[in-house]
Amino acid sequence: MKLLNDIFSFKSIKKIILVSVILISSKYSILCQQSVFLETDDGWKIHSKYVAPKKNLPVIMLVHSSKSNHTEWKKWFSEIERYGYGWLAIDLRGHGVSTFKTDGSSQTFQSFSISGFDNDYNKMIRDIDAAVLYLSSSSIKEDRIFIMGINLGANIAIKYAAINKNIAGVIAINPSINANDILSINPLRLYGKRPILFVTGQNFKKRMQEVMLLYDITKKTTGKENTFIITEFAIKSADDVYKSTMYKIFNWIKNPKLPEVIEPSIILSTNALETSSQTHSCPEYIILNTGDENE
């Protein structure tokens, strides 16, 4: 009897462990995540996590903020997968696990210079290029890749996409005119006739004004039909973005065209956005309000 009880207990434990693994895998996509180290052309080993897309759907490359790492996007992973998209999240050089070089030396962002147009931050476009080459080797064509960056990562995404015209589009969350000497205005002027979506928060007035300026500059060269903007109440990191805004981004990726939208009006007394009933086929700004939602 004791032996049977022991066997039963062991089987129960195995069952519990198996169920736990399945639940964890379902929630965090452990089974389909690949950890990959990419080598840049200037000798950095770039750590990344990759989940392949379903069928021929796009892949979203996720580029984090300064002093952060790929886990800044962890809230996004399962949501991206719900749409069937793939994702590749990297640790930029000097961040996260990407602190080693092919010659065996190591370095972190703390020793990087924040000035100079050839500083380590500007060279981070090579990290993006290594990731694009990896995706290409995995049968993901460049025109299926959308690059989404936040803060510093947004400037890097813009700069890289201005060079590589084959990239499908960019989602720039809180880009700035100058992030550690990664400038965005000239790259946006050279971006070309491709979709680009800006996302910003109303809580940081100076940054929002910069994003609006970048939007206006881009619209003149890229065209109103390719230039979009979403605002919500507050964005500081990728973790702050409302799920409703995520879904708008994912739907935009599915069909990055100019929709008919409701023109917003800003109430100065509350700094909240309200919408009027008047519609326009080609508005000055495409602003989708999510500020009153609780996520």
Q: Return the structure tokens found at 144.
A: 């299926």
Cβ count within 10 A of residue 26: 11
Query: 268 is written with which tokens?
Result: 């100065």
Return the bridge partners of 35, or none.
49
Domain boundaries 33-280, CATH class: alpha beta
CB atoms closer than 10 angstroms to residue 242: 17
Question: Hey, what amino acid is at 102?
Answer: T
Q: Which of 25, 23, 22, 50 is nearest to 36 (CA)?
A: 50
Helix (H) or strand (E) holding 274: strand 272-280
Residue whose token pair is 């069952």: 15
As a whole-number percent, the residues of the chain with pLDDT over 70 amount to 77
Distance CA 226, CA 87 (A): 23
Element (H, E) at 182: strand 182-183
Stronger pLDDT, 27 or 115, i.e. the higher one: 115
Classify 29 in phi/psi space as left (phi over 0), alpha (psi -120 to 50) or beta. left
Give the whole-angstrom CA distance, residue 288 versus residue 249: 11
Backbone φ and ψ for 21, nearest 5 degrees, come out as -65, -40
Q: Is the distance from CB of 225 to CB of 257 less than 8 angstroms?
A: yes
Write out pLDDT tens, residues 242-272.
999 999 999 999 999 765 444 444 443 333 3
Percent of the chain whose pLDDT exceeds 90: 72
Helix (H), strand (E) at residue 70: none
Confidence at residue 22, expressed as pLDDT on a 0 to 100 scale: 30
pTM over 0.85: no
Q: Pick from 161, 170, 165, 246: which is nearest to 215 by CA?
A: 170
Grade residue 7 by pLDDT with cuts at 50, 70 and 90: very low
- Tokens encoding 7: 């066997």
Residue 259 is predicted with a pLDDT of 54
DSSP state of 24: H
**148 CB-contact burial (10 Å; exposed 0-12 / middle 13-18 / buried 19+):** buried
pLDDT in tens, 34-61: 999 999 999 999 999 999 999 899 999 9
Name the amino acid, one letter, at 181: D
Domain residue ranges in the chain: 1-31, 33-280
Amino acid at 220: K
DSSP-derived 3-state class of residue 294 = coil
